[in-house]
Structure 1
Amino acid sequence: MRRALRALIPLTAAGLLISAAPALAAHRAPGFSVTTTASSVASRSDRRPDAGGLYDAASNKTFISWSGQAADTYVQAYDHRTGAWTAPKRIAAGESGSHNYPTMVEAADGHLLIIRGMHNTRTVISRAPRAHSLDGTWTETEVAAGDAASYPMPVKLADGTLYVFYRETTNQVDPAANTDFRPMKYIVSKDSGKTWQNSVQLTGKPRAFGSSGRADHLDEIYVGQLRYQRETGRIQFVYTLAGGGPDQHKHDVYHRDVYYLSFDPRSLHFFSAAGRDLGTQVDDQEQEQYLKVADTPIELPGGVKSPDYILQVGSQSDGKPFVTWFQFDTAGAPHDHAAAWTGRKWESREVATGLRLREIEPLGHNVWRVYATRDGLPDIETYLLTGGRVWKAESVIKTPKPVQRVEVITGFRDPARILASGASTARDVSVADGDIYVAGVER
C-alpha cells in the first residue's frame, strides 16, 4: 500500500513540485491487466527497449520473443479471437550470452524475422517458414554484411524496407583496432530480409556514427533506443558513450554524456536536433558540437556506470525531440532526467529519483507514458510526461515478481500492450527463473 500511494504522488525535481499541464488534468489513469505467459523461464537479458514483439492484423495475433535459459530464443503468440497464448517455442540457441537477445520484426511478405547480434561476432537471422505465423521449422542465416555485431535494433519502414542498426566490435575484424573502438553501422534489406547490404557498401564510409581517438578513450557507442517516425520517415536515436577512460584502452569501464541524432533513410544522411545535415557519417567533432544533450562526469558513482545503457527518445507535438535517461548519485541511486529540444537548445531537468526508466509510449496530445521499475521490487510504475518537461505519476501495474525489461509491442492491440521480462535472480544465463508478463489496458 505504501508503494502504491507513493506512486500516485507527483515527484519533485530540485525540491520543486513540477505542476501538471492541462492535458494531464483530464487524463484518467487506466487499469492494467497482467498475464503471465510463461513462468520461471526468463534469463538475464541486455535487450534494449526495441522490437520485443508485434501485433499482426492479418492473423489478429500478437507475437512476442524473449531470452530463456542459456539466452536461447523463445517465441509465443496470443490469439485475440480466442484469448489464448501458445506455449513457448524455442527457435534458436543463444550460446549462453545475455547480449545475444532476440529482436523481432515482420517483413513485408508477412514472415516473422528474429534478428540477433551474436555478441561481437556476427548477425544471425531466423525466419518463420509461414507468413503471419510462428508454426513450422524456422530457418537460420548468418548475414555476412553484419559482421562483428552486437545490440541489433531492427526497423521496418513504411515501404517495407528493413534496417538493422548494430554496434561493430571493430577489433574482431581489424586486430589493430583498440578494444574500446566500437562504432555504429547498419544493414539494409529491400527484399524482406533475403539479402542485405551494409552502410559501408552503401555510403563508402567506414562507419555510420561514432568516434575514434578521443583523449578519454570513450569511443564506444551505446544506443539506448531508436524510434521510427512514420510521419517524417526518419529514425531517431539517443545514446551514450563508453570506454576505458583517460588512462587506458578498455571496454565499457566508464559511461559519459547523452546524445541525440536522427537519420533519413531516403538520403542516408544524419541530422542534429537543430536540423544540421551531418552527411552519411558522423564523427566526434560533429557529435560534440551538434548532438550533445547533457554532460555527465567520468566517474563510477556507487561503483556503477553512469548514465545507464537504457535511454528513451520521442517527439513533442510539434515534432521537436525529447529524451529521457537515468544516471546515478555518489551512492549509486538512480536519478531520472528528461530533456526537450526548444528549437535552439536542450532544456534538461531532473524529474524523479529512485526509478529505472524502461520504456515510453506515445498517448497523443503531447503526452507520453513512461514505464519504470525500482530495484529489487515487483511492479511497473507508470508516469505521464508532457512535452518532454512535465512529469506526473499515473498508475502501478502489479507484477508478482521484479521486472528487468519493458517494451511496448509494435502496433499493439490490448490486452497485449507491453512485454515485460521478469528479472532473473542471477547474472548467469544458465539460471532462467524470471517470468514473462504481458500487460494491457483493461477494456
Structure 2
Amino acid sequence: MRRLLCVLIAAGLVTPIPQAAAKPPEKTSFEVMTPASTVASRTDRRPNAGGIFDPVARKTFISWSGKAADTYVQAYDHRTGAWTAPKKIADGESDPHNYPTMLLAGDGHLLIFRGMHNTRTVISRAPRAHSLEGTWTDTEVPEGDAASYPMPVKTADGTLFLFYRETTNQVTPGANTDFRPMKYLVSRDNGRTWRNSVQLTGKQWAFGSLGRADHMDEVYVGQLRYLPSAGRIQFVYTLAGGGPAQHKHDVYHRNVHYLSFDVRTLHFFSAAGRDLGTQVDDAEQERYLKVAETPLELPGGLKSPDYILQVGTQRDGKPFVTWFQFDAAGSPRDFAGAWNGRDWEVREVANGLRLREIEQLNGGTWRVYGTRDGQPNIETFLLENGRVWKPETVITTPKPVQRVEMITGFRDPARILATGASSARDVSVADGDIYVAGTPHK
C-alpha cells in the first residue's frame, strides 16, 4: 500500500497531506515547596541520603542541619499535601561536618546516621515504623570509630552499608594527620548490630593510600551510587593532604578517581572491570582508577576539584563522572568524564556552575542540577552518556541554595531536597530555607 501511494503521489494523481511540524518537547516544570524557613545552617553534606519516600506511609521524609548543626526531620503527607513541623532529633555539636543522612530500614524504622567529625558514628532510630513520631534513640557504634562523612546504602536484600572516612590518628597515635582512608560498616539486622570492613576482610582500610610522596593520603568521596541490578556501589572521589613539604589536613587537592564495589563479595573494581580485591592501595589507585590528573592545588585554587562530585552510568552501563574545578579567576568550570571501555573521555561541558546532583531520567540521559554563587535558583541541564550537554530549565527559589539531593525512591512533587544557603559559615547562624521541589501532579 505504501509503495502504491508513493507511485500515485509521484504521478500527480494524489496530493499528499502536509505533515504538521513536530512539536518541540516541553521543558520540565518544577514547583517548589518550603517546608521550613530561615532554619538551615551551613552544611558539608554530600549528595546522598538526605530524604526518602516511604510507600507504606505514603510520606516523604527529609533530614537537615539546623542551628548548631543539630539534626531535624520533617514529613510530607502525599495524601493531604501537608508538611509536619521541624522535629529536632539530635545535637550537632556546632560542627557542619556532623550532618545527618537517612535510610528506611527493612523493618520500616527510619535511621539517621551521623559521623561526628573524626570521633564516632552515631545512629538515631525512630521508635515507630514508618513514622517520625516519638522519642528517637541514639546509639554509638564503636566499630565506626573516628568517623566522618557517613554515606549509607540499603541493598536489595535489606543489608545496610555505611561508608565513612576514618581519621586514623584518633585511634592510632602517631599516624599522620593527613592519613584518612575509607572504611565501611555492615548490618544485616536493620541497623541493630554492625561489623566494620577490618573485621570482615582483615584489611587495614577499604580504599585509600599511605606513604605518597605528596602526602595526598586523604580521600574525599564526592558521591556514591548504588546500582541494584548490578549489585554494585559506584564511587567518585578526589585526594587531599598536606602536600610534599608537610603533613597537614586538607591543604591541597588533586585528581579525580572512579571505583566500584560488589556488595556480595566485598571486592572493588576499576571501570575496566579489574578485580582489586577487598582493599585498594595507592599503586592500584594510580594505575587503574584515575579519571583525570589535576595539579596539586589549594582547595578552591586553579584546577582544584571540589569536595562534591557526581557519578552515574551511560546507556550501555559504563560509568561517567562529573565535577567542577576552578579557573584563575575563581570561577567554576564544569567537566564530565565518560569511560569508553579503554580510556576516560574528559571534556569541559559548561562553566560558572557548582554541580550539585544528578538524576537518571532514562538510559544514558541524566538531569544535572547546578547553582551559581550568590544567586537564587537551581539550573538544570541534560547530559547524554556523559558527553552531550544542553540546558533544560530553571527551578526558581527565593534565595540561594547550597546543597541539592535526590530523594531516594522519590514521588513527585517531592523529588529533590534543596538546602538554602546560610549567610554565614558559622553554624550558630541558621537562616537558610529548606526547599523541596518536583514536578506537579496533573
Q: Could you say whether these structures have the same fold, taking a TM-score greater than 0.5 normalized by the shorter chain as the test?
A: yes
Deviation at 1:175, TM superposition (A): 1.4
- Equivalent residue, structure 2, for 1:201: 199
Please give the alpha-carbon distance, in whole angstroms, between the structure 1 residues aligned to 2:104 and 2:302: 36
Say which structure, 1 or 2, has more relative contact order (CA 8 Å, 6+ apart).
1
* Contact kept in structure 2, 1:210 and 1:220, CA below 8 Å: yes
Deviation at 1:265, TM superposition (A): 1.2
Give the alignment partner of residue 158 of structure 1, picking from 156, 159, 182: 156
Please give the alpha-carbon distance, in whole angstroms, between the structure 2 residues aligned to 1:71 and 1:304: 30
Match status 1:270 vs 2:268: yes
- Equivalent residue, structure 2, for 1:19: none
- Equivalent residue, structure 1, for 2:242: 244
- Equivalent residue, structure 2, for 1:355: 353
- Equivalent residue, structure 2, for 1:309: 307
Two-structure CA RMSD over aligned residues (Å):
1.1
**1:250 partner letter:** K
Match status 1:280 vs 2:270: no
Please give the alpha-carbon distance, in whole angstroms, between the structure 1 residues aligned to 2:70 and 2:27: 37
- Equivalent residue, structure 2, for 1:233: 231
- Equivalent residue, structure 2, for 1:16: none
Unpaired runs of at least 5, structure 1: 1-24
Distance verdict in 2 for CA 1:278–1:230, change over 3 Å? same
Deviation at 1:378, TM superposition (A): 0.2
- Equivalent residue, structure 1, for 2:42: 44
Matches within 5 A, 1:364-379: 364-379=362-377
Q: Secondary structure at the match of 1:363?
A: strand
* Contact kept in structure 1, 2:165 and 2:182, CA below 8 Å: yes
Q: Secondary structure at the match of 1:351?
A: strand
Distance verdict in 2 for CA 1:301–1:75, change over 3 Å? closer
Q: Secondary structure at the match of 1:130?
A: coil
Q: Secondary structure at the match of 1:75?
A: strand
Please give the alpha-carbon distance, in whole angstroms, between the structure 2 residues aligned to 1:60 and 1:302: 42
* Contact kept in structure 2, 1:302 and 1:330, CA below 8 Å: no
Deviation at 1:365, TM superposition (A): 3.2
* Contact kept in structure 2, 1:210 and 1:283, CA below 8 Å: yes
Q: Could you report, residue by residue, the CA deviation over 1:77-102 in whole angstroms, capped at 9, with x for unpaired residues?
A: 00000000000000100000000000
Instruction: Find the structure with the greater CA-based Rg.
Output: 2
Q: Could you report, residue by residue, the CA deviation over 1:7-34 in whole angstroms, capped at 9, with x for unpaired residues?
A: xxxxxxxxxxxxxxxxxx9653211000
Please give the alpha-carbon distance, in whole angstroms, between the structure 2 residues aligned to 1:221 and 1:293: 15
Q: Secondary structure at the match of 2:57?
A: coil
Please give the alpha-carbon distance, in whole angstroms, between the structure 2 residues aligned to 1:125 and 1:304: 38
Q: Could you report, residue by residue, the CA deviation over 1:131-160 in whole angstroms, capped at 9, with x for unpaired residues?
A: 000000000000000000000000000000
- Equivalent residue, structure 1, for 2:181: 183
Q: Structure 1 residue runs of 4+, over 6 Å off?
A: none
Deviation at 1:307, TM superposition (A): 0.3
Matches within 5 A, 1:111-150: 111-150=109-148
Deviation at 1:302, TM superposition (A): 6.3
* Contact kept in structure 2, 1:404 and 1:421, CA below 8 Å: yes
- Equivalent residue, structure 2, for 1:58: 56
* Contact kept in structure 1, 2:147 and 2:165, CA below 8 Å: yes
- Could you state the TM-score of these two structures normalised by the residue count of structure 1? 0.93
**1:89 partner letter:** K
Distance verdict in 2 for CA 1:385–1:197, change over 3 Å? same
- Could you state the TM-score of these two structures normalised by the residue count of structure 2? 0.94
**2:54 partner letter:** D
Please give the alpha-carbon distance, in whole angstroms, between the structure 2 residues aligned to 1:234 and 1:27: 34
- Equivalent residue, structure 2, for 1:173: 171
The sequence identity of aligned pairs, in percent, is 78
* Contact kept in structure 2, 1:270 and 1:282, CA below 8 Å: yes
- Equivalent residue, structure 1, for 2:87: 89
Distance verdict in 2 for CA 1:27–1:122, change over 3 Å? farther
* Contact kept in structure 2, 1:66 and 1:74, CA below 8 Å: yes
Please give the alpha-carbon distance, in whole angstroms, between the structure 2 residues aligned to 1:365 and 1:140: 40
Q: How many residues align?
A: 419
Distance verdict in 2 for CA 1:400–1:274, change over 3 Å? same
